[in-house]
Structure 1
Amino acid sequence: MMVRRSFLAAGLAAVALPLPALAAALPRLQVWREENCGCCVGWVDHMRAAGFPIEDNVVRSVAAARRRLGTPSDLLSCHAGLVGGYALEGHVPAAAVTRLLAERPAGIRGLAVPGMPVGSPGMEIPGEAPDIYDVLAFDARGGRLVFMRFRGGTSV
């Protein structure tokens, strides 16, 4: 009996979900970005590769979307997003977004990576050492906390 359970568990662990099944498990990610931003396209590609279905909105200015999302002006980067009811700003790694969606911490309005840290998703620069940067969680009252810390695309 024990051998059979171990064999079954090992077999199930070896099965990987195909990308369409994984994408169906994640909510749609709406993105607002300007047309000529290459790093925004890189971030969208990163999120798509992580299994998020993407609604890519190319706009003249991201400002209106940020106002609707309630993104604080001191946390801005180059693109905005909305997923599962949470605002996203900048080069937030998929690992931070999936953690947010799994945990759904009370009071959090969204996640942001201010600026454009080298090595963050979409900001990979060949030959450049990746920055260490924080993914900040923000709330509706102006509160901030470090949600996760990354070096490039890896959590530290």
Structure 2
Amino acid sequence: MKHLRKCVLQLSAISALLLSLAACSEQLDSAAASTEKAQANSAVVSLDVYKSPTCGCCGKWMEHADASGFETLGHHPVDLNQFKIDKGITAPYQSCHTAVSQEGYVFEGHIPADIIHRFLANPPANALGLVVPGMPVGSPGMEVGSRQDEYAVLVLYKDGSDDIYEHIGSAQ
């Protein structure tokens, strides 16, 4: 009987130890999940978007960017054209809105958000940012049914030159 009681006490102690370890493990898993969630939230990229207060397609582009992991904040400068020029975006490259990242990169026009994410992950040397001149139909914020115009996303360099960053549509 004494031996049985000793075995029961040992089993009880082992069970308590296992339950404690399991509870600690769940707390560690919960803490790890909270840390991962906080890191994911801190990875949200903010874009300041400079646009006309009356432009509807700019608002649609901002919704596209927000749905793709960006956090956009709209601004309405008195002289939007001069703002663009001050940022290095000359007339041939201009569109209706200019987004500026925290790092100072500019994103002119209706650029797909996934392309901006890729650019920010690995920006080319001496890049000012990306531009989609004009307002191509089918670009984010410029959707018209199923129509998709071909266009190029250009990388704009600080010296004013450009290069094709990516083709959109069938011209490749």
Find the aligned partners of 2:98 and 2:66 in 1 and give their Cα distance. 15
8 Å CA contact 2:45, 2:69 repeated in 1: no
User: Is the CA contact 1:40–1:79 (under 8 Å) kept in the aligned structure 2?
Assistant: yes
- For 1:95 and 1:32, how far apart are their aligned partners in 2? 20
1:5-154 aligned within 5 A: 22=40, 24-83=42-101, 84-126=103-145, 128-151=146-169
SS state at 1:53 partner: strand
Using CA pairs below 8 Å that are at least 6 residues apart, which structure has the higher relative contact order?
1
Runs of 5+ unmatched residues, structure 1: 1-16
State the identity as a percent.
35
Aligned length: 136
Contact 2:107 2:130 in 1 (8 A): yes
AA at the equivalent of 1:136:
L
Q: Which has the larger radius of gyration?
A: 2
C-alpha change, 1:67 and 1:132, in structure 2 (3 Å) is: same
Q: Which runs of 5+ in 2 are unaligned?
A: 1-35
Report the secondary structure of 1:54's partner residue: strand
Q: Which amino acid aligns with 1:65?
A: F
Give the TM-score normalised by the residue count of structure 1: 0.78
Q: What CA RMSD, in Å, does the superposition of the two structures yield over aligned residues?
A: 2.3
Q: Is the 8 A contact 1:32 1:57 kept in 2?
A: yes
Cα distance in 2 for residues equivalent to 1:59 and 1:148:
30
| Alignment-mate amino acid for residue 139 of structure 2 | S
Deviations 1:13-52 (A, max 9, x none): xxxx87x865531321000010111111111111011111
